[in-house]
Amino acid sequence: MLEKMEILDVEKLIGDFEVMTKDAENVQRETLKMILEENGCAEYLQNMGLNGRTDPESFKACVPLVTHKDLEPYIQRVADGAFSPILTGKPITTISLSSGTTQGKPKFVPFNNELMETTLQIYHTSFAFRNREFPIENGKALQFIYSSKHSKTKGGLFAGTATTNVFRNPQFKKAMTAMQSECCSPDEVIVGPDFHQSLYCHLLCGLIFHEEIQLVSSTFAHSIVLAFRNFEQVWEELCDDIREGVLTSRITFPSVRSAMAKLLKPNPELADLIEKKCSRLSNWYGLIPELFPNVKYIYGIMTGSMEPYLKKLRHYAADVPLISADYGSSEGWIGANINPSLPPESTTYAVLPNIGYFEFIPLKENVEGHMQENGNVSFLSTEPKPVGLTEVKVGEEYEVIITSFAGLYRYRLGDVVKVMGFHNSTPELKFVCRRNLMLTINIDKNTEKDLQLAVEEAAKLIAEEKREVIDFSSNVDVSADPGHYVIFWEISGEVSDEVLKECCNCLDRSFVDAGYVSSRKVNAIGPLELRVVWKGTFHKILDHYLRLGAVVSQFKTPRYVEPTNNKVLQILGDNVAKNYFSTAF
């Protein structure tokens, strides 16, 4: 059906979504039934004793909750080319590499046509709602998208990042055309083997088509900020290329050069115009609308670990709306942003009840104390008791569990979400953080969100000096007793020692978790340390992940670096310019 569609029928898409979400519970039952019928012959499900039953109750009773580690041996056999159905009824032909930024190595997850279909469904759904409020005209999109290096697994399966698998699928281009969001760059640029060269060419294509650009987008907002930070460095070179109609010799890949040669013609008027626009700007404020006068909005995932980039993005965007893209993962999609006029800080994602079967582990219940027979309260963690999609409660936080059409059953995704309300009978989720990103030394527990809030607070002190935190990360140093938190900052310019000492104290004070504060007061946790790293350090971390096979499109700076992630720790350690210890307690 999608193949025939040239321009999307937005009202019909919204109508279908309304009908489906009014009956979310039944749709979930039906979806589970379909997943189990399609994949019932797979070894994994055969071993669970379902014996053909497809109802949620039997499913929950027979199939255990799992993490990626539990499924790894099965996925490995699929990747090694096992002949029999292992996780899915139909053979898996493609493997996705998830970003794996915390642990330091990408994970394998299955990718199949059904996952591609759900990707398109979520793209179409959010587009329908977005286009109703922010209609775009026929034009082009400046999309900072990149393919990863792809490889073949031992069994001959194609392996690339999930976004690469999506971008390379012919359905993707059709969907972009149907959504009037065709990428202004040629395919050779998107699949180009060197990210730096592709980024330069994306910018150049954007400038060539500057009047046609309707939206600027990327998968995660980080790539947009990275692109325009780069623009600040290379804009004169871009103008030279446009003036002469000759591509800089820095672009070396023949396929990319010849694709760009077809677009690039000498255009001194355009070069002059861009130069004039750039020199008019004050500190690059409003760069995006200045370069692209018809841009309607900026689009990409902007919640969770992307929030720290919003300040810079707003600076470049001025009054162009920022709209967060949908919520999903290499393992499967979860929800669409159907309220695009909300700012990213308030964005929620409405779960699509037919793209997977969803369960939620209530976080409150699992950490609450339980009264024992002897009257004592036990705080031992209890067996997680997930609830169904329509059973979640507004205001509560949950860990997401996915059962997908691509061979994952009751899979703990590791994300924490908060239920903000319901759209008909499907919940609207706010992304909170990754569950396992936890700064902890003894009884303290701080999540990615806590770290982000602390950094935001302390960064206000350098904002007074017109400086910003370009990127940040953390770990715990337990090499001496007591252990302490270490926060790494890359900043945009010089800041005095006095102010940085204050920032360090502010970071320490901003972790308000009771376990942390009480431990700090009795020195069971030592003074927090702020390590300021040289400019470009986080770029080295990005490059390191790219060498491992990650892709910029899916890159998320690791906010917490595991002690086993030696390479990233080494990059950070080798680049410390200054360090400060808190005197806040």
Query: Smaller CB distance to ligand AMP: residue 360 or 431?
Result: 431
Pairing of strands 140-143, 213-220: parallel
Among 54, 58, 98, 579, binds ligand AMP (CB under 6 A): 98
Counting contacts by CB under 6 A, is residue 554 touching ligand AMP? Answer: yes
C-alpha closest to that of 431 among 444, 445, 448:
448
- Which residue's CB atom is positioned nearest to ligand AMP? 304
Count how many Cα atoms sit within 13 Å of the Cα of residue 283 in the half-sphere of its side chain. 8
Identify which range of 321-329, 358-366, 371-379, 558-566 contacts ligand AMP by CB under 6 A: 321-329
Query: Smaller CB distance to ligand AMP: residue 186 or 427?
Result: 427
Among 28, 31, 39, 99, binds ligand AMP (CB under 6 A): 99
Count how many Cα atoms sit within 13 Å of the Cα of residue 527 in the half-sphere of its side chain. 15
Counting contacts by CB under 6 A, is residue 238 touching ligand AMP? Answer: no
What is the contact mask toward ligand AMP in residues 424 to 463, using x (rule: CB under 6 A)? Answer: -------x--x-----------------------------
C-alpha closest to that of 504 among 470, 540, 466, 459:
459
Query: Smaller CB distance to ligand AMP: residue 342 or 577?
Result: 342
**CB 132, min distance to ligand AMP, A:** 20
Q: How many helices (H) and strands (E) does the chain have?
A: 21, 22
Counting contacts by CB under 6 A, is residue 76 touching ligand AMP? Answer: no
Query: Smaller CB distance to ligand AMP: residue 434 or 484?
Result: 434
Counting contacts by CB under 6 A, is residue 307 touching ligand AMP? Answer: no
Among 328, 332, 344, 549, binds ligand AMP (CB under 6 A): 328
Counting contacts by CB under 6 A, is residue 413 touching ligand AMP? Answer: yes
Query: Smaller CB distance to ligand AMP: residue 357 or 431?
Result: 431
The residue whose two tokens read 């409020």 is 133
Counting contacts by CB under 6 A, is residue 303 touching ligand AMP? Answer: yes
Contacts of 557 (CB under 8 A, 6+ apart): 101, 222, 305, 471, 472, 473, 538, 541, 542
CA angle (544, 155, 331) in 5-degree steps:
60
- The Cα 165–Cα 97 span in angstroms is 10
Identify which range of 298-306, 378-386, 389-397, 450-458 contacts ligand AMP by CB under 6 A: 298-306
Query: Smaller CB distance to ligand AMP: residue 116 or 208?
Result: 116
Is-contact 142 316, C-beta < 8 A?
no
SS3 80: coil
Pairing of strands 411-423, 397-403: antiparallel
Query: Smaller CB distance to ligand AMP: residue 29 or 544?
Result: 544
DSSP string, 151-177: EE-TTS-EEEEHHHHHHTSHHHHHHHH
Q: What is the size of the binding site for ligand AMP (CB under 6 A)?
A: 15
Residues that bind ligand AMP (CB under 6 A): 98-99, 162, 301, 303-304, 327-330, 413, 415, 431, 434, 554
